[in-house]
Chains A and B, each alone.
Chain A
Amino acid sequence: AQSVSQHNHHVILSEAASLELGCNYSYGGTVNLFWYVQYPGQHLQLLLKYFSGDPLVKGIKGFEAEFIKSKFSFNLRKPSVQWSDTAEYFCAVRGEFSGGYNKLIFGAGTRLAVHP
């Protein structure tokens, strides 16, 4: 079955450390890729998305992600995290999974805690 894997379930960093969260998907067709963030007590919000073109995409709040087609990966990065980045991060993939219409499938999420 098609799936989206986020390998790190919990990440703890100090402020100013660099961040990389992994996301891999298992689907050979055309996909669109997203990262969403859920701050404590809030709704999910879109960080960035990739549809086509430059595989390095930049999002809000200094986040970026790189699409590597050969590795089926879309890792999220930030050079220097802040305490306010403490949140749960979800990778999502849109594709024609299992036939039918296009669906948006989420990974299990990575909970990031940034310590001052």
Chain B
Amino acid sequence: NAGVTQTPKFQVLKTGQSMTLQCAQDMNHEYMSWYRQDPGMGLRLIHYSVGAGITDQGEVPNGYNVSRSTTEDFPLRLLSAAPSQTSVYFCASSYSLDNEQFFGPGTRLTVL
């Protein structure tokens, strides 16, 4: 199993650009989520999904969209990048919330 994979590992955007961060897992996990990690603020939940076709907002959803058309994939879309979205983004998955979350390696995003 590859576990949780994320692409790209690094990305630099200009303000106003849009992009999609990819996340995939091959463990048949139902629960997937996106977090951003900022110094002194820990991990903050952006969006999450409890299964294909079902998503919900987390703590900091503004400026981000998600969809879950398959169990494996959970892309995160930045609609119009802003410097405040400079962060490290982690995707995580688990069979359910009762189980350990498996984290991807992260995407370091810089918005100029």
Interface residues of A (CB under 8 A from B): 6, 9, 32, 36, 43-44, 46, 49, 51, 90, 94, 100-109
Interface residues of B (CB under 8 A from A): 33, 35, 40-45, 48, 50, 54, 56-59, 90, 92, 97-98, 100-101, 103-106
Known interface pairs A100-B56, A101-B48; A107-B42 also in contact (CB < 8 Å)? yes
4 tightest Cβ-Cβ pairs between the two chains A and B: A108-B42, A106-B43, A46-B100, A109-B42
Q: Tell me the dominant secondary structure on chain B's binding face.
A: strand
> Is there an interface contact between A105 and B45, defined as CB atoms closer than 8 Å?
yes
> Is there an interface contact between A103 and B42, defined as CB atoms closer than 8 Å?
no
A32: B residues at CB distance < 8 A: 97-98
B33: A residues at CB distance < 8 A: 104
Known interface pairs A43-B104, A43-B105, A90-B42; A105-B97 also in contact (CB < 8 Å)? no
Bound complex: CA of A104 vs CA of B90, how far in Å?
14
Bound complex: CA of A46 vs CA of B41, how far in Å?
19
Known interface pairs A43-B103, A43-B104, A101-B56; A108-B45 also in contact (CB < 8 Å)? no
> Is there an interface contact between A90 and B43, defined as CB atoms closer than 8 Å?
yes
Bound complex: CA of A104 vs CA of B102, how far in Å?
13
B103: A residues at CB distance < 8 A: 43-44
Given contacts A43-B106, A100-B57, A106-B42, 20 further A-B contacts (CB under 8 A): A9-B40, A36-B101, A44-B43, A44-B92, A44-B101, A49-B100, A90-B42, A100-B56, A101-B50, A101-B54, A102-B97, A103-B48, A103-B58, A104-B45, A104-B97, A105-B45, A105-B59, A106-B35, A107-B42, A108-B42
Bound complex: CA of A102 vs CA of B54, how far in Å?
13
> Is there an interface contact between A103 and B105, defined as CB atoms closer than 8 Å?
no
